[in-house]
């Protein structure tokens, strides 16, 4: 199975709000090991601090604790995403994100975005990217995916880390939304203040990206 | 896992009908049924709650809970708005506040926690809601004592991989 092949095909049964995992797929990553390495090197003298923008996953908490002995903050922006999609209030999504991320600046060594930017429009994306740059310590890293096919997204994915280069993907239904496809130059422009350190286009047309501040 | 239920199960070596030895729990050092307290659904406590026995809360507590040597279980009906300090904390209900445990925090499927968790071990079941920070600082682990990077890892800023860009 090609890596991240899930990204190309929406689940036909996925129509309602996220209620739980419906199926699982495994995927390998080329860039995630670089993220771990970057965070570890970033915090040689102090304990790393990581911000997770997805749901809490027990296995991931254990992984980060064992691997990086880090402090992990969980701010699940997908909750705001789903609520806004369901209520038709996507215009207010940027404000909801800002409220949720009202944390001190220069606080994190690493931020996990997963595929969050696929679900939000360019304006909201710009606001969020700016906020992530503010939260990140100089030298810190942001890890995320960007789909390159303009499909309707009908499901969310929980990324369960199995090893430094392998994830188990658990899908759950989402209120459908058209993917916001970003070209490489759009990504660079959106993440002003951060630089693209690694960018790998996978066979599944998903761009796995690592940013550094 | 704690296997607390096994620990509190009475010893059954006494033959049926014989009088069990009347040894107080405190002298055996093992918790008995008498050492566990349940706060029922209708109980509301506002203030500071501390004790020296395991406690299960099904009611509402606002303030502070301190069971430094014992296990605190917040049952499915439990609603806590408090700072919690215990040896181990099992959450099945709702907690708004920080949780500190010297051994373990266990968030079960029905748990909802808004607050910061500090414990050497944290277990989170699928379906649990959590918002806040998790600090699993292990004893003896110093900054930089992370596992070595895999051989294919390279230092930050090293050349790009040969994948499609």
CB contact under 8 A, A69 and B141: yes
Residues 6+ apart with CB under 8 A from B23: none
User: In this predicted complex, what is the ipTM?
Assistant: 0.80
**pLDDT tens digit sequence for B84-139:** 999 999 999 999 999 999 999 999 999 999 999 999 999 999 889 999 999 987 65
Q: Is the model's pLDDT at A126 over the cut of 90?
A: yes
Looking at the DSSP bridge assignments, the partners of residue B95 are: B80, B113
Label residue B18 by pLDDT band (50, 70, 90): very low
Closest partner residue to B123 among A58, A75, A197, by Cβ? A58
Closest partner residue to A72 among B123, B134, B149, by Cβ? B134
Instruction: Dump strand ranges (E) for chain B.
Output: 36-39, 44-50, 54-57, 60-74, 79-91, 94-96, 99-107, 112-114, 117-118, 121-124, 129-135
| Chain B residues whose beta carbon lies within 8 Å of the beta carbon of residue A75 | 131
| Better-scored residue on pLDDT, A33 or B143 | A33
Tell me, what DSSP letter sits at residue B75? -
| Chain B residues whose beta carbon lies within 8 Å of the beta carbon of residue A37 | 149, 153-156
**CB atoms closer than 10 angstroms to residue A85:** 18
What span, in angstroms and rounded, lies between the C-alpha atoms of A84 and B20? 63
CATH topology of domain A30-149+181-212: Rossmann fold (3.40.50)
Q: Report the predicted TM-score, pTM, of the whole model to 2 decimal places.
A: 0.77
Position B31 scores a pLDDT of: 52
**pLDDT tens digit sequence for A99-113:** 999 999 999 999 999
* A177-202 per-residue burial string, b: 16 or more CB within 10 A, e: under 16: bebbebeeeebeebbeebebbbbbbb
Residues B70, B51 contacting (CB under 8 angstroms): yes
B161 at interface of A, judged by CB pairs closer than 8 A: yes
């Amino acid at each position: 199975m090609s890596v991240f092949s899930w990204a190309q095909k929406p689940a036909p049964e996925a129509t309602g709000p996220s209620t739980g995992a419906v199926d699982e797929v495994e995927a390998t990553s080329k860039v995630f090991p670089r993220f771990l390495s970057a965070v570890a090197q970033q915090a040689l003298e102090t304990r790393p601090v990581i911000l997770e923008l997805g749901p809490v996953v027990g296995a991931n908490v254990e992984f980060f604790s064992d691997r990086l002995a880090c402090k992990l903050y969980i701010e699940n922006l997908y909750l705001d995403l789903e609520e806004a999609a369901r209520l038709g209030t996507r215009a207010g999504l940027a404000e909801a994100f800002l409220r949720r991320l009202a944390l001190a600046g220069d606080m994190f060594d690493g931020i996990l975005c997963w595929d969050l930017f696929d679900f939000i429009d360019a304006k909201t994306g710009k606001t969020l990217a700016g906020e992530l740059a503010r939260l990140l310590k100089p030298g810190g890293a942001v890890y995320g995916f960007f789909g390159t096919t303009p499909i309707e997204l009908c499901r969310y994915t929980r990324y369960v880390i199995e090893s430094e280069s392998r994830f188990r993907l658990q899908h759950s239904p989402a209120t459908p939304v058209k993917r916001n496809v970003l070209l490489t130059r759009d990504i660079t422009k959106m993440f002003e203040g951060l630089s693209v350190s690694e960018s790998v286009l996978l066979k599944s047309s998903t761009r796995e990206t690592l940013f550094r501040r | 896992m704690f296997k607390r239920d096994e620990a509190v199960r009475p010893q059954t070596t006494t033959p049926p009908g014989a009088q069990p030895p009347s040894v107080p729990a405190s002298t055996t050092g093992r918790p008995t049924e008498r050492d566990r307290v349940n706060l029922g659904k209708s109980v509301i406590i506002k203030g500071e709650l501390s004790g020296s026995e395991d406690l299960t809360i099904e009611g509402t507590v606002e303030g502070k809970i301190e069971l430094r040597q014992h296990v605190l279980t917040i049952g499915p009906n439990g609603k806590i708005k408090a700072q919690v300090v215990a040896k181990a904390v099992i959450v099945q209900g709702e907690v708004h506040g920080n949780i500190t445990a010297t051994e373990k925090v266990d968030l079960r499927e029905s748990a909802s926690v808004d607050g910061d968790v500090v414990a050497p071990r944290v277990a989170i079941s699928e379906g649990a809601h959590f918002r806040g920070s998790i600090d699993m600082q292990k004893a003896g682990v110093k900054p930089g004592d992370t596992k070595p990077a895999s051989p294919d890892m390279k230092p930050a800023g090293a050349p790009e991989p040969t994948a499609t860009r």
